[in-house]
Structure 1
Amino acid sequence: MISVVEENRTWSYWRVLRDGKVSALLAGDAVTNVGDGAIITALPLLTLRIHGDVPAPLAISAVEAAPYVLATVLAFTIGLTRLRIPPRASIIADCVLRGGLLAGLGLLAMADAITLPVLVCGLLVASVFRMVGMSARRLVVTAMVPPEGRLAANGLLGTSTSLATYAIGPLVGGILAAVRNPGIALLVDGASLILLLAAAVVIRPPTTGSVDGETIPASGLRILRRIPLTARLLVVVFGFNLFYMPVEIALPLLVRGPLRGDGLSLGLIWTGFGVGALIGAMLTGLLRKLPERKLLVSIIAGWAAVVLLLTIAPSVPYAVVVLFVGGLIYAPFTPVVYTAVQAVLAPDEQQPVLTLWTAGSTLAAPIGLALGGPLVQGVGTQGGLLVSALLTIALVPPAAAGLRGHAVRASEPDHVGTADTR
């Protein structure tokens, strides 16, 4: 089994939050996540208003995939080469570029002056630093706590995502879309980056090899090859994310079609997921005695069951309950995965590996969205959900086999920098 170093589980959330600098960064991260959550609901609804002659599934696919393309290119460049951007600088660059362009797109949409190509191109450029910036937030926050506080820090980042991105944000986006032009959510998302920008400007993280952008001798790929556990986890997460993506395309069409809902309905469904994920994230610490391999595989199987239940959704309330259960199941996945990866890395290995690892796992999003659009167009909304569920179920056996027997023993040091993980 995979066993994260026992010391990494000793800190509580409250102990991490007592550090004012960490709390400030987490607060900025939470507010930003609310804005990102708002456009989960608003972007598909805005796309449905402006897609013109482009088939709706293909238009949604293009809009949803656009923020990942250039962001993935930059993240892979950092992970595969010796290029380093200090995490603090990455956060600032992301806030400035994304905040400004999202606000501009929002104003165009509110004036009914936006077109599908403008929206796609704007999201493409705005998100150049998004992936690197998100990885940088995790690097900075976890660098500001000792190793025994990492699981709690990662858990707080996961709780922020669950509460803000999936519980509060989509509901806000749905309400804004219902009472105003969906473009206002883009304006809100741009403005939500201000607090994170202020925190990044003021706070000086520790100057270690993982956060200060110093030259690191090995590329992320080389380190990944040396530590097989990180590579195996990357493959599992990539597949999990890839097979999930048709859900993001099918869900708004499911709401507008068979469920006969509106923007608020879509927001409520995502909020159901967020509330479940929030509860799951808060309870993550209670799962610390479970074998991580079995836990991660169970989450993958549980999520597949949730998507299967969505294929037979008769009403919006039913879909809300199903996504609530889905959020509850999924929430522990990211904190456990990232803590397992960080436990086997030396401080100066963190940025290249986590950036490459995040890029590799996130690369599944644009690929899944690009493939998901034609898939849903070809087999229909319920058919797309069914394919997503079956592919996720098929991931369970290779995931269990790939992670079997690879452990980080509690007696080992906090990182393994020169030998394979066994």
Structure 2
Amino acid sequence: MVKNHSSLLQNKEFQYFIIATTILDLGKKLSWVALSWFVYQITGSALSVGIVISASTISPLIASIIAGGILDSYNRKNIIVIENIIRGLILSLIPILFWIDALDLWSIVVVVSINGMLSSFTNIGSRTILPSLVNKNQLESANAIVSMTSQFGYLIGPSIGGFSVALFGEPMTLFFNVLCFFIAAFLYSLIPTESYQSQNHQKTNVLSTDNRMRKFFFDTKEGMTFLLKFKPVLFIAFITFFFNLTYSPFETMLPIYVKDILLTGPESLGFMWTAFAIGAFLGSLLWVKIKRTFIYSYALGLIIILWGITPTFFVYFSNIYMIYTLMFIGGIVYAPYNIISPTIQQILIPNDKRGRVLGVIGLIGGLGFPIGVYFSGMLAEFLGASTIILGSGVLTILLGICVIIHPSLRFSQMTNLDNIKENL
């Protein structure tokens, strides 16, 4: 495993990929802290925070199937590079509108919706191209490194975001995220085009416009059909849906919990996510160090249960240092999920179909987050942030129990996935 890590980190293409994804994660956390605090300060409404977060999460889901088909059929490199540049320009509209006194809630919703739709190209594209950058036997290690290094953005992002909001204000904090998009676009441009492409790219280039459209819709339908044949991957998509559904109320309520229960400011919210990121980094490191011979359904179920236990304790503590500790522990137990899930998907799905299938998976799994955000925002007006957070934890624990019981992921070695793939 150590040798795998060493050779991966010497891979130039993988280096560019890792740095770009880390910077985007940093920018994402910067904008999350700034926007959630911005909206709550402007409106004083938990529902408004929920609306903005829902808009930012629903929009990439709507675009995910289309994005996957486009990534499989056209130049992936150009799409990802241009998309990040455009996202940076669009996000800059929020501070500009604020400075000219033309910003309102619905302006923010429109901007984050467009930004979210475009984000699906990089979100799906990065998972699509990773298996082309590394050897197959390095893929799980590569996903572990992606998970660990992405936590660096989450590690410093919340702290920088919290302090930046306090010192410079929300508009300037969002401009830092704009810069992150531009840097990521440059780094993605350094990866050779052949590392991005599938066989469909060359086939699509010789087709007429009408035939391209027909092929696009046919390929998208084929991706959906393909997914239905792979029960383990389909099951992971539904696990992700319900995990997002039960987790999202917790994330939505954190700004309100910090302000109204802990009686602190954005700096504390930033430190909470920093504690989570430190724990997640450690959790990813521990996962790649241990010998994984246990059943994957048990592993995923236990991860979900342990994460669900974490927010239930928020109801019983108001000491900020205890909350930091809980977030740290939560990060440790949550981290392996982001290693197991993508590795299974990337091994099972061929490169020429990967964009389309991951787009469908993203749609199924991702729908849980905005649904959870919306309903938790509405219920919070009546039940309060603490009750919503407690409910989030209890439902997550129940989900973990269901995952352990279900037989779809009853295998313990990643090599077994090849046998599954051959039999389908």
TM-score by length of 2: 0.89
How far 1:413 sits from its partner (Å)?
7.3
For 2:237, the aligned partner's letter is L
Q: Distance in 1 between matches of 2:49 and 2:417?
A: 47
Q: Deviations over 1:214-271 (max 9, x none)?
A: 5685622211111111111111111111110011221111110111110111111111
The one of 36, 59, 62 equivalent to 2:28 is 36
Whether 1:91 aligns to 2:83 is: no
Contact 2:68–2:124 (Cα < 8 Å) also in 1: no
Whether 1:219 aligns to 2:222 is: yes
Count of paired positions: 408
The one of 225, 230, 250 equivalent to 2:233 is 230
SS of the residue corresponding to residue 128 of structure 1 reads helix
How far 1:361 sits from its partner (Å)?
1.4
Query: 1:194 — aligned with what?
Result: 182
Q: Distance in 2 between matches of 1:296 and 1:57?
A: 31
Whether 1:267 aligns to 2:270 is: yes
Contact 1:95–1:193 (Cα < 8 Å) also in 2: yes
The one of 99, 103, 106 equivalent to 1:114 is 103
Change beyond 3 A, Cα 1:335–1:27? same
5+ residue gaps, structure 2, are 205-217
Change beyond 3 A, Cα 1:16–1:83? closer
SS of the residue corresponding to residue 261 of structure 2 reads coil
Contact 1:86–1:213 (Cα < 8 Å) also in 2: no
For 1:182, the aligned partner's letter is E
Q: Deviations over 1:135-184 (max 9, x none)?
A: 211222331111111112111221132221x2111111100111121122
Contact 1:94–1:130 (Cα < 8 Å) also in 2: yes
How far 1:111 sits from its partner (Å)?
5.7
Change beyond 3 A, Cα 1:286–1:23? same
Q: Deviations over 1:116-147 (max 9, x none)?
A: 11111111112212123112112223311111
Q: Distance in 2 between matches of 1:364 and 1:220?
A: 21
For 2:261, the aligned partner's letter is P
How far 1:322 sits from its partner (Å)?
0.5
For 1:122, the aligned partner's letter is V
The one of 157, 165, 177 equivalent to 1:169 is 157
Q: Distance in 2 between matches of 1:355 and 1:160?
A: 24
Q: Distance in 1 between matches of 2:407 and 2:99?
A: 49
1:366-381 alignment runs, 5 A limit? 366-381=370-385
For 1:196, the aligned partner's letter is A
Contact 1:237–1:361 (Cα < 8 Å) also in 2: yes
Query: 1:160 — aligned with what?
Result: 149
Q: Deviations over 1:258-297 (max 9, x none)?
A: 1111011111111111111111122220244242222111
| Higher mean C-alpha displacement, 389-398 vs 198-207 | 198-207
Query: 1:352 — aligned with what?
Result: 356
- The structure whose residues are more often helix, as a share, is 2
TM-score by length of 1: 0.89
Query: 1:4 — aligned with what?
Result: none
How far 1:362 sits from its partner (Å)?
1.7
Whether 1:337 aligns to 2:326 is: no
Query: 1:296 — aligned with what?
Result: 300
For 1:136, the aligned partner's letter is G
Query: 2:209 — aligned with what?
Result: none
Q: Distance in 1 between matches of 2:84 and 2:165?
A: 24
Whether 1:73 aligns to 2:69 is: no
Contact 1:91–1:136 (Cα < 8 Å) also in 2: yes
